Amino acid sequence: MDEFDVVVLGAGPTGENLAERSHAGGLSVAIVESELVGGECSYWACMPSKALLRPAAALADARRVAGAREAVSGALDAAAVLKRRDEFASHWKDDGQVNWLEGAGLQLVRGHGRLDGPKRVIVDTPDGGQRLLTARHAVAVCTGTRAALPDLPGLADVRPWTSREATSSGQVPPRLAVIGGGVVACEMATAWRALGSEVVLLVRGSRLLPRMEPFAGEAVADSLRAAGVDVRFGASATEVRRDGLVTLALDGGDTVTADEVLFATGRVPATTDLGLETVGLSPGRPVDVDATGLATGVTGEWLYAAGDVNGRALLTHQGKYQGRIFGAAIADRAAGRPLDTAEWGRSVATADERAVPQVVFTDPEVSAVGLTLEEATQKGRRVRGVDYDLGNVAGASLHADDYQGHARAVVDLDTETLLGVTFVGSGVAELLHSATIAVVAEVPISRLWHAVPSYPTISEIWLRLLETYRN
């Protein structure tokens, strides 16, 4: 039997951060990993997907500027892009991250971990054995999510792509069908089209990126179409079969044939084989937590869940943020130190509810934080949406000829602070943190008026939004 102060299940970005913070708080930590240390993000999500997208963005940026455009000829070198992607995925080896874990003083236990009642974890080890780990203070579930696949006749036999194959494929499929209208669908349609695939994007609903401001999905749909992607709304697959090629039957009677089909249809929490039933929780569901990370419905203040698995915000940076906050809360509770649970306090993940930033790396990029106008209105806030065309900002027009872009700030009329901001356009990813700071710090409009953006940068959008609000 091995006893540790804390046992962490899952060494993705969330588990790594939570383990490190608990250890920095004076606790011994074992971290259990069934696949690769670094998790989905490092090998099959953020890193390889952005490595696929960045060359396309660099090329598109050059093509948008007269003078540079003339120096660019030809398409992306797909083999070189895939090779660079492989490097960013560390060739699907985790030695570097294992070194980091060990250097940070954390004990790695390889294998599939499962709860076995309060503060007990059984690990099926790669040698076929089992190891029992017990936790003096806490067990933290950081097991992430897996791709959700619909219950579609024929699906099991067609070897569909999920986000894993879409981010790790070593071949460019001549024809790719993508199902879904969320972030994975939009980013992967962008990437594989730029790499040379004929792409059809089959969207069940009527818009792309449905959780964002409507103008974001509209801009991405327009540009995907301009790039040659066949974007179809109101299109649902009813049946799928593979006969060498994949054929999808659509509900309107059409069929689509492709070399590969990517299902980008959301995520399910990795909680089906986790022993949740041994502590009174339901397998297959997210592990609900309070703002300090404690699992609700479990007595004794020992079970935590952080990152994708708790369903609060399915983003690496939010998982890492929860890892930092919940890891410190575990150490504080263990030492009997008081927690700071006031809103925005040291021990609570308030940003999950108020200011989640996200960048969608399509062309144009979409970057957004906080509430959309519709969400703020639905929450009963008295708000005004302030809109401005980014193409009219001097810095943007220098950035690209005929710059296309848009920004919206959602102003709370009672407090005169920002509840949310969305930017759409080339190069807006790096603008987002300014908005995140404004939302988190609840900077009054009257003070933002004194935050002077440099001329001529795209950041001058801030001045234009403020002027529009004051007019």
Ligand X SMILES: NC(=O)c1ccc[n+]([C@@H]2O[C@H](COP(=O)([O-])OP(=O)(O)OC[C@H]3O[C@@H](n4cnc5c(N)ncnc54)[C@H](O)[C@@H]3O)[C@@H](O)[C@H]2O)c1
Binding site for ligand FAD (CB under 6 A): 9-15, 32-35, 39-41, 45-46, 49-50, 112-113, 142-145, 163, 167, 184, 270, 274, 307-308, 314-317, 319
Per CB under 6 A, the list member of 56, 82, 179, 393 interacting with ligand X is 179
Q: Does 182 bind ligand X (CB under 6 A)?
A: yes
Omega before 286 cis (within 30°)?
no
What are the residues whose beta carbons fall under 8 Å from the beta carbon of 156, sequence distance 6 or more?
none
| Binding range to ligand X, per CB under 6 A, among 30-38, 244-252, 353-361, 441-449 | 353-361
Omega before 214 cis (within 30°)?
no
Nearer CB in complex with ligand FAD: 358/426: 358
Q: Does 214 bind ligand X (CB under 6 A)?
A: no
> Cβ(292)–Cβ(330) under 8 Å?
no
Residues 138-157 interacting with ligand X (rule: CB under 6 A): 150
Distance in Å, CB of 421 to ligand X, minimum:
16
Distance in Å, CB of 413 to ligand FAD, minimum:
31
Q: Does 177 bind ligand X (CB under 6 A)?
A: no
Q: Does 267 bind ligand X (CB under 6 A)?
A: yes
Distance in Å, CB of 218 to ligand X, minimum:
15
| Binding range to ligand X, per CB under 6 A, among 67-75, 268-276, 336-344, 352-360 | 352-360
Distance in Å, CB of 281 to ligand FAD, minimum:
14
Q: Is 415 left (phi over 0), alpha (psi -120 to 50) or beta?
A: alpha
Distance in Å, CB of 463 to ligand FAD, minimum:
29
Distance in Å, CB of 145 to ligand X, minimum:
8
Nearer CB in complex with ligand FAD: 14/436: 14
Residues in the chain, total: 471
Distance in Å, CB of 88 to ligand X, minimum:
15
Distance in Å, CB of 350 to ligand FAD, minimum:
18
Nearer CB in complex with ligand FAD: 163/459: 163
Q: Is 420 left (phi over 0), alpha (psi -120 to 50) or beta?
A: beta
Q: Does 185 bind ligand X (CB under 6 A)?
A: yes
**Structural tokens at position 161:** 């792509």
Q: Which of 328, 295, 463, 289 is nearest to 386 (CA)?
A: 463
Which of ligand FAD, ligand X, none lies near 223, with the C-beta cut-off 5 to 8 A by kind?
Answer: none
Residues 302-321 interacting with ligand X (rule: CB under 6 A): 314-315
Nearer CB in complex with ligand X: 210/444: 210
Nearer CB in complex with ligand X: 314/329: 314
Distance in Å, CB of 14 to ligand FAD, minimum:
3
Distance in Å, CB of 449 to ligand FAD, minimum:
32
Q: Which of 167, 195, 199 is nearest to 77 (CA)?
A: 195
Which of ligand X, ligand FAD, none lies near 10, with the C-beta cut-off 5 to 8 A by kind?
Answer: ligand FAD
Per CB under 6 A, the list member of 135, 158, 262, 264 interacting with ligand X is 264
How far apart (Å, rounded) are the C-alpha atoms in residues 281 and 278? Answer: 7
Which of ligand FAD, ligand X, none lies near 40, with the C-beta cut-off 5 to 8 A by kind?
Answer: ligand FAD
What are the residues whose beta carbons fall under 8 Å from the beta carbon of 84, sequence distance 6 or more?
51, 55
Nearer CB in complex with ligand X: 25/180: 180
> Cβ(88)–Cβ(230) under 8 Å?
no
Per CB under 6 A, the list member of 29, 183, 295, 303 interacting with ligand X is 183
Which of ligand X, ligand FAD, none lies near 265, with the C-beta cut-off 5 to 8 A by kind?
Answer: ligand X
Q: Does 265 bind ligand X (CB under 6 A)?
A: yes
Residues lying near ligand X in the complex (CB under 6 A) are found at 150, 179-185, 187, 204-205, 210, 236, 264-267, 314-315, 358-361
